[in-house]
A and B are shown apart, each in its own frame.
Chain A
Amino acid sequence: MKREIPLFVCVVSALAMIIAYYSPKLDWMDDMLQKWFLIIAVFAFILGAISIILVNGNRISKQVPGWGYNVVLLIGLFVTLGLGIFGGIDPKTPFFYIFTYIFTPLSATMFSLLAFFIASAAFRAFKAKTWEATLLLIAAFIVMLGRVPLGELMWSWLPVLKHYSLNNLVENWIMGCFNTAGQRAILLGASVGLISISLKILLGIERPYMGGE
């Protein structure tokens, strides 16, 4: 029964959604199921919080190397959660100050670090080892410089090329032509894969919701 009931719920829900989508008379069911989904989606946050507590709690109890960071994470979770629940999230509340003056700059800092790592990785890995890599390198140079004002300025100094717009070269040719063709291929391939995986889940062949079985 542990296997059959979740499988039954999954198949019935999926079939109901498909039938409701194609049948105008079953609009009410489509609407009802979507509302159920929105309610269930909120519970994902509770599930996420429980998962964080369990994973980090486990690491603290086993005192694995770096367990102090897990303590900081759990303190951050409980303090923010408590302040949000009991003090509200409006401006001038402690939660708002944590969000604005701690969470926001920390998130921005983490994202900004990418620039440093990209520069270091490009220096070490971006080599013209093959013909294809060389083409990629040239395209990357044009796009990187073409997407910044300095590149446009430098382009205007070039003797013959200055008569052609760098913006057009990047927008219409590299991004609009080569990039779009590649993106479409990825998109179509991924969509076919998604349909196939959905069918497998619908038929009970793949059961990731039962713990990766």
Chain B
Amino acid sequence: MLEKLANLDRRIIFLFVGLAVLIPIIFPLGLPNAVSQPVQNIYDFVETIPEGSLVFISFDYGPSTKIECEPMALAVTKQLFRRNIKVVGWALWPEGASMARNVFDVTGKEYNKKYGVDYINLGYKAGGSITIKEIGEDIRSTFPQDVDNISIDKYSVMDGVKNYKNFKLGVSVSAGVPGLREYIVVANSIFGVPIAGGCTAVSAPEMYPYLNSKQMVGLMGGLKGAAEYETLMNYVGDASKGMDAQSIAHLLIVLFVIMSNIIFFMQKKK
């Protein structure tokens, strides 16, 4: 019996995980999300930015991590638009330009914002850290055109924008390299622009040294970070709904590990 349990068919584990994720999505539990300090810090910082200021968002993620990263980008953009702050978006990942388009389409409509006046999508640029540095020197030579290949000179949102000095905050929603870490190292350390960020849950622990050294304003880690931001913004989005499924899945994995350890010690005793 013990042997059988120790070598449990992985398809049974897969079935349990599938149900643990599926059931809370169909029947939401509505569990409340406590807001952590790093997420609260981003929200509070955005609240201090004067109306009409500029903030940039770098969409450094692709479709594979869209579920985790997009709710963060949506929540931050909603807060910026609610406060009438202008947003300039670009991407260091090739798929990021399309991700930005999704976010701006949803939030732009919701807050009645006009493309080119209140926000702009500058598209993708290769080069990682060097691109981040180039933006600090001259954004107009780095992104002479927007995502639709139209000169940025035609858009009022870009009037007088030269480099990071024109931005009150930079937000990188990132799923890897290049992303948040590169913005901290280059945009914050060299050019002094405050950087806030969101990243996938697996890469969040790597960001804590920068958070502790105050090199970044705040951090949204994974779906949980996004759900906390949604709580602050007072709406139930995809992240908040997803946290119910994640709660049950985490509990299930913990139970599986406890079970496997009980079997392990019982076998050892025998």
Contacts and interface: CB of A to CB of B under 8 A. Distances in A.
Given A119-B253, A127-B264, A167-B36, A149 B126 contact: no
Contacts of A103: 63
A34 interface: yes
A180 B214 CA distance: 13
Interface in A90-128: 90-91, 99-100, 103-105, 107-108, 110-112, 115-116, 118-120, 122-124, 126-128
Contact of A115 (B21, B98, B101, B205): B21
B257 A126 contact: yes
A145 B98 contact: no
Contacts of B205: 175, 179, 183
Contact of A45 (B16, B126, B249, B254): B126
A108 to B, nearest CB: 6
Interface residues of A, number: 54
Nearest to A43: B126
A182 B235 CA distance: 36
Contacts of A99: 63, 95, 98
Contacts of A34: 130, 133-134, 137
Nearest to B16: A119
Given A38-B131, A42-B126, A115-B17, A31 B137 contact: yes
Interface stretch (A57-65, A66-74, A150-158): A150-158
B148 interface: yes
Given A99-B98, A183-B209, A145 B254 contact: yes
Interface residues of B, number: 64
B239 to A, nearest CB: 11
Contact of A104 (B10, B66, B246, B251): B66
Given A38-B131, A126-B257, A180 B66 contact: no
A35 interface: yes
Interface in B169-202: 201
B66 A108 contact: yes
Contacts of B127: 37-38, 41
A38 B134 contact: yes
B254 A123 contact: no
A107 B64 contact: yes
Given A128-B261, A149-B32, A150-B31, A118 B253 contact: yes
| Most chain A CB inside 10 Å of its own CB: which residue of B18, B250, B252 | B250
Interface string B235-270: 000000001101111111110110111001000000
B105 to A, nearest CB: 9
Given A116-B18, A120-B13, A110 B64 contact: yes
B45 interface: no
22 contacts: A31-B137, A41-B127, A45-B126, A99-B98, A105-B63, A119-B16, A119-B252, A120-B14, A123-B256, A124-B260, A140-B257, A148-B247, A150-B29, A150-B251, A151-B251, A152-B34, A153-B31, A167-B34, A167-B36, A176-B211, A183-B205, A184-B209
Interface of B: 8, 10, 13-14, 16-18, 21, 29, 31-34, 36-38, 62-67, 95, 98, 101, 125-128, 130-131, 133-134, 137, 141-142, 148, 201, 205-206, 208-209, 211-212, 221-222, 224, 243-244, 246-254, 256-257, 259-261, 264
